[in-house]
Amino acid sequence: MVNTSVTLSGLTLTNPVIPASGTFGYGYEFAEIYDINCLGSFSFKGTTREPRFGNPPPRIAETASGMLNAVGLQNPGIDKVISEELPKLRRVFHKPVIANISGFSVDEYVECCARIDREEGVGLIEVNISCPNVHNGGMSFGTSPESAAQVTKAVKAVTTKPVYMKLSPNVTDIAAIARVCEDAGADGVSLINTLMGMRIDLRRRAPVIRNVTGGLSGPAVFPVALRMVWQVYEAVKIPIIGMGGVSTAEDVIELMLAGATAVEVGAANLTDPWACPKIIADLPRVMDKYGITSLEEIIGGAHHG
């Protein structure tokens, strides 16, 4: 009998598998096809103060072993998320959910986080300071240590639940950003958001994505995510939620060995809607294969000395 449970800042998950924000909506598309209570938790669609349409289409492109998206934080806005999405979600998901919050100003982050913090059923707040697809917001807060610290401090001042800052890989030194978040009071960090990329349509001689650039995700980014989780683990003491191209139970274990306490699964949900339950079901077999009895014991297990 293997033990798959892990604990994030006091929040115990029956397993470390968490669908990543933006690939799981507010849960019901998946609740229609499987019991989503098998998940460790899930991170809901990035939510802002105002409702957003996002970027004009096309906002998706395929890449080798991955995809680009430039959705641009489409969401119904915090009011509707609290009044409609969360009550609907509670009917199908009975575990604490991860609230993913984004913004265009420190005030917006503060207001949204303060409001979502009061919601029963929210176990942890993941603050997205790394969306590459919006202008004057999102990633601009996560690429400078000063503003990352500023958002962290401001959000921590108005919340009681664990706050995890979601970091951008589009920086020179992600460990430095993680460190300032830790110093500013973050309870943990989530990484990585997508890597900025683009494709050009040869027929039209123009970018495939209307926004020109998009965020790269999928198995193509896994080694980059793994490297960054490794570096951040060596730089901070707070827990890490690792993500980036995770598609198999082996990937989960590899990311945990690099230092992740829990693991988010993103693009894989889109190509195989049953990706997460398949990974969860396969974990005991893979743990057995590598002589792992408790997942909690392997966190950072590849760092020696």
State yes or no: residue 61 binds another protein (CB under 8 A): yes
Select from 3, 14, 31, 54 the one that contacts another protein (CB under 8 A): 54
| 131 has catalytic annotation | yes
Nearer to another protein, 52 or 166 (CB): 52
The one segment of 151-159, 178-186, 263-271, 285-293 that binds another protein by CB under 8 A:
263-271
Is the preceding omega at residue 192 within 30 degrees of 0, hence cis?
yes
Catalytic one of 38, 112, 113, 131: 131
Tell whether residue 245 is a contact of another protein (CB under 8 A): no
Q: Angle CA(26)–CA(32)–CA(35) in degrees, nearest 5?
A: 85
Residue 258 to residues 84, 228, 234, 266, 294: CA-CA distances in angstroms?
38, 9, 9, 19, 16
Task: Kindly provide the b/e burial profile for residues 49-82, where b requires at least 16 CB atoms within 10 angstroms of the residue's own CB.
Answer: beebebbeeebebebeebbbbbbbbbbbebeebb
Closest to 218 measured CA to CA, from 273, 267, 170: 267
Check residue 41 for interaction with another protein (CB under 8 A): no
Interface with another protein (CB under 8 A), residue from 37, 83, 160, 271: 271
Single out the segment in contact with another protein by CB under 8 A; choices: 89-97, 179-187, 272-280, 293-301: 272-280
196, HSE (Cβ side, Cα atoms, 13 Å): 17
Retrieve residue 262's tokens. 């829990």
Question: According to CB under 8 A, which one of 6, 15, 16, 25 is a site residue for another protein?
Answer: 25
Which parts of this chain interact with another protein (CB under 8 A)? 22-25, 29-30, 32-33, 45, 53-54, 57-67, 69, 71, 74, 208, 218-219, 267, 269-274
Give the active site residues: 131
